[in-house]
Amino acid sequence: MEELLRLLAEDAPGSELARAAGSDQAARDLALRIRAGMDASKKREAELSALVDVARELASARDPGGVLDTIVHRARTLIGTDVAYLTMYDAARGDTFMRATDGSVSAAFQQLRLPLGAGLGGLVAETHKPYWTADYPGDRRFRHTSPIDSAVGEEGLVAICGTPLIVDGAFVGVLFASNRTRRPFSREEVSLLGSLAALAAVTIVQVRAAAETAAALDQLSAAHAGVEHAAAAHDRFAEIVLSGGDVDAIAAALAELLEVWVILVDALGNELAAAGKVDRSQVAQAAGSSSASGRLVREGDCWVVAATANGERLGALVIGGADDLSGADQRIVERAAVVTALVLLFRRQAAEQSQRAQADILADALSGNSDPRALADRVRLLKRQKELPGQLLVAVCRGDHSGVLARLSAPVKDRLQLAGPYAGDLVLLLALPDAASGARALAEVARQTRVTIAVTGPAGWGKALVEAHQQAARLVTTMLRLGRAGQSAAPDDLGVAGLVGAAEVDIRAHVDHVLGAVVSYDAQRGTDLIGTLQEYFAAGQSPTRAAKAMHIHPNTVQQRLDRITALLGDGWQQPEHALDVQVALRLLQALRD
């Protein structure tokens, strides 16, 4: 087993793992499953990294033909097919024509035109939906025509996947990945090709905007300073994207270039970035007035332009502090909106990739079917951390948990190790010291979202984490049955009810949670408030009868009860809490005996 673990740590291939396992079939199967999980995680990271490279390469491209060549080359590389190609829509003729290819050898194929509805590509063009097949020549779902089948046959294509390119809500073409041998396309590969197509669509908008800007600058060739200014803006935005800059850098660059203030909001109006002396009183109305056309419009004293990708409005740039903007400056703002849309689109895709990876690791961790060390390695790879906490809290969020992650405070986000859906709940793994502190940290989130949150732990990776999750799931069910929906709680917060769902009970910790303040007060001052509590409950919660049993004045008993209230908080005498206190008193007596 040590040899297998060493080989896994050294990223050894499956053949070496099988050899090391020898006749131990179970060890070999487990090692190969772990190897497969690690390979899948690395593949996702490689795909995400490749999309980053594609986004940067496309953002820096200026030549439309070069952009299309880059797109098909990247599609062929990322999907791992023999051929990739792209067709563009010809509105005048009502068909699509071959515009760029990579890996193609057939002249007839490179000159092919596809009528709408004909072949796989024509069906994609007609429906604006992706289609794929492992065996196009034998697939009867598509309307085969002699020109298409002849060109496809000359190229030798068998498996084909095509996805539409949509720009500003309009269909402009189809991106394909094809193989010369039969092969199925996984949904992950189709999704990856779709992500590349989305980037391609944004870039086509970007190139069009650049062409429009160039045309406007050509008309203003006499104003040489304006041309230089636009070129500097183009280079500045390209540099930001290539260096991995975020929307803050774009806003700052635009504010500096035009000597204005800039604010970027998302599609819901939430502020994402700002630069300069922003007048926020004008932002809300202006941002809501921008269209999805990507063109700059005037709104009162502000200018606003939508940042859109693939027909979807991702946000808006609002510019103020300028009485007027020249035509060249307006094109610069529109260019900034295109670059902003690209960055926002990539940010969302990166977040989605990360969420899917987290969900996969979380499911493996909570199912108990994966090796704890392999899980920790996958988390380190995902989070890019050298060390991971050995103990984690488990928070189970039940209800409409769609807004939970967005409302986590910064300190909690910093301690969040994994988050994702599991068994219908949202599960968070947090590097916080104890369940009580975790419940307090999530209390405001529960109140705002009306989600019920149960927090247990801390627990280490492996069986302990699985048991902590099971306890949290039982605890959240108990909370709902007790009418505590929309709250956050740890097991001790539910008193006796919280003990019922626990796999193991720390009696001392529970007693300290309920009566610790009273016990400490007695120890520090030499009093016996614990004894008063015992007599008070023995007397049926009657101060008068308790005083008689203790041979003291009722006022003295009442003063002690007031002190206990100050220590335990209001409500400890209510039936539910009084039961918790009585059980804790019995447990304390048992510990002392």
Task: Give the model confidence (pLDDT) of 540-554 as tens digits.
Answer: 888 888 888 888 888
Asked whether 260 and 320 are in contact (CB, 8 A), the reply is yes
Residue 222, pLDDT score: 38
Amino acid at 309: A
User: pLDDT for 350-380, tens place per residue?
Assistant: 655 666 767 777 777 788 776 767 666 666 6
Tell me which of 176 and 17 has the higher pLDDT.
176
Return d(Cα 50, Cα 56) in angstroms, integer. Answer: 10
Domain 389-500, CATH number (from 1.10.287, 3.30.1490, 3.30.70, 3.40.50): 3.30.70
Helix axes 64-79, 25-60, angle to 10 degrees: 180
How many percent of the chain have pLDDT more than 90? Answer: 19
Helix axes 2-9, 14-21, angle to 10 degrees: 170
SS3 (DSSP) at 241: helix
Architecture of domain 507-592: Orthogonal Bundle (1.10)
Identify the band that residue 275 occupies on the pLDDT scale cut at 50, 70 and 90.
Answer: confident
Residue 523, pLDDT score: 86
Q: Which residues contact 47 (CB under 8 A, 6 or more apart)?
A: 78, 192, 353
Q: Does pLDDT of 1 surpass 60? A: no
Domain span(s) for CATH 3.30.450.40 in the chain: 61-200, 220-348
Which of 28-42, 142-156, 390-404, 529-543 is least confident? 28-42
Q: Does pLDDT of 397 surpass 50? A: yes
User: pLDDT for 565-576, tens place per residue?
Assistant: 888 888 778 876
What residues form DSSP beta bridges with 167? 170
Tell me which of 196 and 395 has the higher pLDDT.
395
Residue with tokens 């204005």: 260
Tell me which of 131 and 326 has the higher pLDDT.
131
Residue 82, pLDDT score: 96
Residue 19, pLDDT score: 62
Return d(Cα 261, Cα 279) in angstroms, integer. Answer: 8
Q: Does pLDDT of 183 surpass 70? A: yes
Q: Which CATH class is domain 220-348?
A: alpha beta
Q: Does pLDDT of 390 surpass 80? A: no
Residue with tokens 């057939």: 106
Nearest to 406 by CA among 393, 387, 391, 419: 419
Chain mean pLDDT for the chain: 77
Helix axes 554-568, 507-525, angle to 10 degrees: 130
Sheet of 452-460, strands arranged across: 416-422, 425-430, 391-398, 452-460, 488-489
Return d(Cα 546, Cα 543) in angstroms, integer. Answer: 5
Q: Which CATH class is domain 61-200?
A: alpha beta
Identify the band that residue 510 occupies on the pLDDT scale cut at 50, 70 and 90.
Answer: low
Helix axes 119-127, 146-155, angle to 10 degrees: 120
Residue 64, pLDDT score: 54
What residues form DSSP beta bridges with 452? 398
Q: Does pLDDT of 59 surpass 50? A: yes
User: pLDDT for 169-179, tens place per residue?
Assistant: 778 899 999 99
Domain span(s) for CATH 1.10.10.2840 in the chain: 507-592
Amino acid at 294: G
Residue 223, pLDDT score: 41
Which of 86-100, 117-131, 210-224, 414-428 is least confident? 210-224
Average pLDDT for 247-264? 80
Domain span(s) for CATH 3.30.70 in the chain: 389-500
Tell me which of 98 and 268 has the higher pLDDT.
98
DSSP annotation of 387 = -
Residue 110, pLDDT score: 94
Average pLDDT for 378-388? 60
